[in-house]
């Protein structure tokens, strides 16, 4: 009798437990999209604890298709590495033409006029369909950068949008800019997935300078700036931001208001002095349009993206009118090369200027860069090696900069920065190594197209 009762009770318990799990599974599947979004931003933050919390216990996990992975990312990596070791180590010297171009760029960084609000108008006029800074006629570049790093801050507020802590500042003359604080020391190495960690303020500065060196003039003007947090920011901050300031010993800290901003995740000044990057706000009348990046990562270790599974992914992308005509696909490939050089594997979306028909893909938000100088994430180059095409002007610029001096020149351009050295020696060295890999990837493509360079290098 009692045994039967216990058995019945047990059976009932199992049924109820099953129902409970079923309902849990159902609710999880329903929230799938929302869940993914959450997870995506969370992993970006590089916070291991949160990763665990968000791990889906009840969802079926897709098994990794290792053979497919070997056929795409690993196969491409193998080819590129073998090509780079076969390419003769030419150690070309820069041509006179390259040296002249670099010196003229260096000249552009000279401060020629004092700070006035006219400089903001000049910089606003620079932004066009294909560039944030025109090539030539930019004698005022150094002066605008100087204004950005020295103008009085008259207002500081939360940016509200976004997952990363940044402050929207207004400079004297009404110019808006973003302030991204320093989280890491120069020598710190960000371990983990390519998108791990918080923004690197020095990465933003280096990315801007590198974009000019590469002739990819699509990054907003960016400078290093040291602020007195109490005197320059807190004194002009709106209430929402002020509330997040506190004192930790002798140091002033704040945590701001953003998706992940929390008191226990604050950034602290050295007493009141804080280093950061100041990024010029693009003119307000130019509307930005955001697109999902076709080579977006899944931000999940257990799921591969389509581009990681199929080496013919590019032909899928090119079925979309956005990428089958106009400059967009070649812009994406330029972006991939730029991101590979700076080690940014976090460009899940990209922005264009919607006021223009053929807007360039802007290189905004380059903070997840220069994380680990000892690792080359070759899969960032997937748009290049899967589409096997690149713009002739980009190829030319890369070709002219080979020879082991790209890093040296970048460092030289950044010598004017308040924060010099902006990058550690290891990151500087990584740039030339990665440039070699980009050139090798292009060589692999040309070889696979029966040495038809014209099929890979696109005259546009
Ligand atoms: C793995 O990917 C390859 C190539 O895309 C495919 O042929 C194969 O069926 C896949 N295997 C599994 C188990 O999904
Ligand atoms: C300040 O924060 C509150 C609550 O989060 C929000 O509703 C309000 O819009 C914020 N104000 C400004 C100016 O950011
Ligand atoms: C704060 O500064 C004072 C004066 O320089 C020093 O004596 C004290 O040890 C500092 N406190 C901390 C927590 O660093
Ligand atoms: C086309 C191709 O390269 N296929 C290979 C994918 O990977 C598996 C496992 O390594 C090979 O068996 C296939 O030949
Ligand atoms: C015309 C041609 O041969 N195109 C090929 C160039 O190389 C890529 C990558 O191997 C191929 O996908 C193209 O078909």
Ligand 4 atom, smallest distance to 311 CA: 1
Q: What's the 386 CA to ligand 1 centre distance in angstroms?
A: 18
Say which ligand is closest to the CA of 237: 2
Residue 70 CB–ligand 1 contact under 6 Å? no
Domain assignment present for 218: yes
Residue 68 CA to ligand 1 centre (angstroms)? 6
Residue 36 lies in a domain: no
The reply to whether 163 and 201 lie within a common domain is yes
pLDDT tens, 144-184? 999 999 999 999 999 877 778 999 999 999 999 999 999 99
The residue segments making up the domain with residue 89 are 72-97+286-458
Separation between Cα atoms, residue 255 and residue 265, nearest integer Å: 6
Q: Select from 437, 298, 424, 314 the least CA-distant residue to 372.
A: 424
Q: Are 381 and 324 in contact (CB under 8 A)?
A: no
The pLDDT tens digits for 57-94 are 333 445 565 666 667 888 999 999 999 888 765 556 78
**In the prediction, which pLDDT does 59 show?**
38
Q: E strand or H helix at 175, and its extent?
A: strand 175-181
Q: Is 333 annotated as a binding residue?
A: no
- pLDDT value at position 8? 67
Same domain for 294 and 274: no
Same structural domain, 296 and 413: yes
pLDDT of 18 over the 70 cut:
no
Q: Are residues 290 and 195 in the same domain?
A: no
Look at residues 247, 280, 313 and tell me which one is the last residue of a structural domain: 280
Number of other residues whose CB lies within 10 A of the CB of residue 120: 24
Distance 239 CA to ligand 2 centre (A): 9
Phi, psi of 275 (to 5 degrees): -90, 150
Among protein residues, the one with the nearest Cα to ligand 5's atom 10 is 448
Average pLDDT over residues 418-445: 96
Q: Which atom of ligand 1 is nearest to the CA of 65?
A: 1
H or E segment to which residue 145 belongs: helix 141-150
Q: What is the 210 CA–ligand 2 centroid distance (Å)?
A: 37
Quick one: pLDDT at residue 258?
Answer: 84
With respect to residue 4, please indicate whether it lies within any of the assigned structural domains. Answer: no
- 270: Cβ below 6 Å to ligand 3? no
- CA 66, 68, 74, 79 dihedral sign is positive
Is the pLDDT at 319 greater than 70? The verdict is yes
Catalytic residues: 346
At 178-235, the pLDDT tens digits run 999 999 999 999 999 999 999 999 999 999 999 999 999 999 999 999 999 999 999 9
Ligand 2 lining (C-beta closer than 6 Å)? 158, 238, 240
Instruction: Answer yes or no: is 12 within a domain.
Output: no
Domain co-membership, 197 together with 273: yes
Do 206 and 331 share a domain, yes or no? no
pLDDT at 353 over 90: yes
The pLDDT value recorded for residue 55 is: 33
Among 225, 247, 280, give the residue marking a domain's end. 280
31 is in an annotated binding site: no
**pLDDT value of residue 86:** 80
**164 belongs to an annotated ligand binding site:** yes
Q: Is the model's pLDDT at 418 over the cut of 50?
A: yes
CB 112 within 8 A of CB 142: yes
138 or 67, higher pLDDT: 138
pLDDT of residue 161: 76
Q: Is residue 280 very low, low, confident or very high in pLDDT (cuts 50, 70, 90)?
A: very high
Report the pLDDT value the prediction gives residue 63, as an integer from 0 to 100.
58
Residues 145, 93 share a domain: no
Q: Are residues 114 and 92 in the same domain?
A: no
How many domains does the chain divide into? 2
- 22 belongs to a structural domain: no
Together in a domain, 316 and 438: yes
Q: How sure is the predictor about 382, in pLDDT bands with cuts at 50, 70 and 90?
A: very high
| Percent residues over pLDDT 70 in the chain | 84
Which atom of ligand 2 sits closest to the CA of residue 157?
14
In which band, very low, low, confident or very high, does the pLDDT at 46 lie, cut at 50, 70 and 90?
A: very low
Tell me what pLDDT residue 224 has. Answer: 98
| Residue 227 placed within a domain | yes
Q: Are residues 321 and 227 in the same domain?
A: no
Contact of 242 with 145, CB cutoff 8 Å: no
What pLDDT shows up at residue 47?
34
Residues 340, 224, single domain; the answer is: no
Give the residue, by CA position, lying nearest to ligand 5 atom 5: 449
Last residue in a domain, options 253, 280, 307:
280
**Ligand 1, atom 12, residue with closest C-alpha:** 65
Distance between CA atoms of 345 and 342, rounded to whole angstroms? 9
Ligand 5 atom at minimal distance to the Cα of residue 311 = 12
Q: Classify residue 429 by burial, with Cβ atoms within 10 Å: 0-12, 13-18, 19+.
A: middle
Total-model pTM: 0.83
Residue 303 has pLDDT above 70, yes or no: yes
Q: Is residue 38 part of a domain?
A: no
Identify the pLDDT of residue 137.
78
Whether residue 309 sits in one domain with residue 449: yes
Q: Is residue 231 situated within a structural domain?
A: yes
DSSP secondary structure, 75-138, as one string: HHHHHHHHHHHHS----PPPPHHHHHHHHHHHHHTS--S---THHHHHHHHH--SS-SS-SS--
Q: Which of 61, 64, 68, 304 to mutate to test the pocket of ligand 1 (most atoms within 8 A of CB)?
A: 68
How many Cβ atoms from other residues are within 10 Å of residue 197's Cβ? 23
Residue 1, token pair as written in the block: 């009798």
Question: β-pairing, 251-254 with 245-248?
Answer: antiparallel
């Amino acid at each position: 009798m009692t045994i039967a009762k216990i058995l019945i009770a047990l059976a009932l318990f199992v049924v109820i437990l099953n129902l409970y799990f079923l309902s849990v599974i159902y609710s999880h599947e329903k929230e799938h999209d929302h869940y993914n979004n959450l997870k995506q931003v969370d992993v970006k933050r590089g916070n291991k604890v949160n990763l665990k919390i968000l791990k889906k216990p009840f969802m079926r996990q897709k098994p990794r298709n290792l053979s497919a992975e070997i056929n795409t990312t690993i196969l491409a990596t193998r080819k590129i590495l073998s090509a780079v070791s076969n390419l003769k180590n030419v150690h070309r010297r820069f041509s006179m033409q390259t040296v002249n171009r670099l010196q003229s760029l260096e000249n552009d960084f000279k401060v020629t006029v004092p700070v006035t609000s006219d400089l903001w108008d000049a910089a606003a006029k620079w932004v066009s369909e294909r560039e944030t800074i025109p090539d030539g006629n930019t004698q005022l570049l150094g002066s605008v950068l100087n204004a950005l790093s020295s103008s009085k801050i008259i207002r500081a507020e939360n940016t509200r949008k976004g997952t990363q802590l940044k402050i929207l500042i207004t400079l004297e003359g009404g110019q808006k800019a973003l302030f991204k604080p320093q989280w890491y020391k120069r020598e710190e190495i960000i371990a983990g997935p390519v998108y791990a960690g918080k923004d690197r303020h020095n990465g933003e500065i280096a990315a801007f300078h590198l974009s000019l060196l590469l002739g990819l003039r699509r990054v907003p003007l960016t400078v290093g700036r040291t602020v007195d947090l109490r005197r320059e920011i807190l004194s002009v901050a709106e209430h929402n931001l002020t509330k997040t300031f506190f004192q930790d010993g002798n140091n002033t800290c704040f945590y701001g208001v953003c998706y992940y901003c929390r008191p226990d995740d604050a950034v602290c000044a050295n007493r009141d002095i804080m280093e950061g990057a100041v990024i010029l706000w693009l003119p307000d009348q130019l509307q930005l349009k955001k697109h999902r990046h076709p080579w977006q990562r899944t931000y999940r270790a257990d799921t591969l993206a389509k581009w990681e599974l199929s080496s013919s992914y590019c032909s899928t992308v090119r079925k979309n009118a956005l990428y089958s005509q106009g400059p967009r696909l070649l812009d994406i490939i330029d972006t991939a090369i730029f991101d590979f050089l700076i080690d940014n594997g976090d460009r899940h979306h990209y922005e264009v200027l919607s006021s223009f028909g053929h807007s360039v893909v802007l290189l905004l938000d380059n903070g997840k860069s220069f994380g680990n100088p000892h690792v080359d994430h070759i899969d960032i180059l997937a748009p290049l090696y899967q589409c096997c095409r690149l713009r002739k002007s980009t190829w030319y610029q890369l070709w002219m900069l080979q020879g082991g001096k790209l890093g040296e020149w970048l460092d030289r351009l950044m010598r004017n920065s308040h924060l010099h050295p902006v990058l550690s020696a290891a990151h500087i060295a990584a740039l030339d190594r990665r440039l070699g890999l980009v050139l090798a990837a292009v060589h692999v493509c040309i070889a696979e197209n029966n040495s038809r360079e014209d099929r890979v290098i696109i005259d546009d």
